[in-house]
Amino acid sequence: MDRAFTHGYGLSPTLGSGVTLPPIPALRGEENPQEWKSLLLHTLEFHNMASCVLKTSAEVSKTNREKAYAFILILQSISQVRDRLANAGWDFNTMDQDPKDLYDLILRTIPNTGAAVSNAWAIVGGFVHNFTHTKPSKFTSFEAYHAYVQYSKQCLSEVNCAVPDKLAICIVLNALKEYNLKWYSMLARQVPGLTWSQLMQEMGREALRREGGHGSASEPSGEWLQR
């Protein structure tokens, strides 16, 4: 290596020029594996040693000093997940090991679920937004809107973000206001006793009326209104 450096446990790499690199962040499990991986690789790359953890000993020659430095960077940052790695099979008492093996084990044992969770919540957020903002006018038919409303509510339930029936009823009725104000008003008066199932049944009848060319509903026609 053409750069002199020293390294103490818990300290960041220090160059001969006195410039101190940022410390490798403590790996806290699934919370920050990407942050940990990124700074580790950048630090190793700064010293032209990224291959120590990216390539096997058969692919690239690794000096004992390079391997020791890579191990020090890793070991000082994984105390919070040490037991998990030991349970996964890593022997912390054996000296002659390849840092790539430890690096690979860490990536397998501590998956980057943060990005997956973030993407999942983005998808859920999209469902919530669409469910609360979609209007019948955005669909080619009332039947399509009716099907989408049922599908969206079911999807939100399946990802543990269920919309309570009463709230869902209010959301859908609000969307029906611009579709048919008179029908909306008649349905809204039934809200104290109106169930989600009853609203879906009434919307299903409206879809059939539309499909049959009988125009839009002038008033709710379900048997539940006659009770």
**Residue 216: strand, helix, or coil:** coil
Percent of the chain with pLDDT strictly greater than 70: 78
What is the pLDDT, as a whole number, of residue 130?
A: 80
Residue 113, pLDDT above cutoff 70? no
Q: What is the domain partition of the chain in residue ranges? A: 5-111, 114-226
Q: What is the pLDDT of residues 186-201, one digit of tens each?
A: 999 988 899 999 999 9
Question: Following DSSP, what letter does each residue of 16-35 receive, concatenated?
Answer: TTS-BPPPPPPP-GGGSHHH
* Confidence class for position 155, pLDDT limits 50, 70, 90: confident
What is the pLDDT, as a whole number, of residue 6?
A: 38
Q: What angle do CA 13, 14, 20 make, to 5 degrees?
A: 90
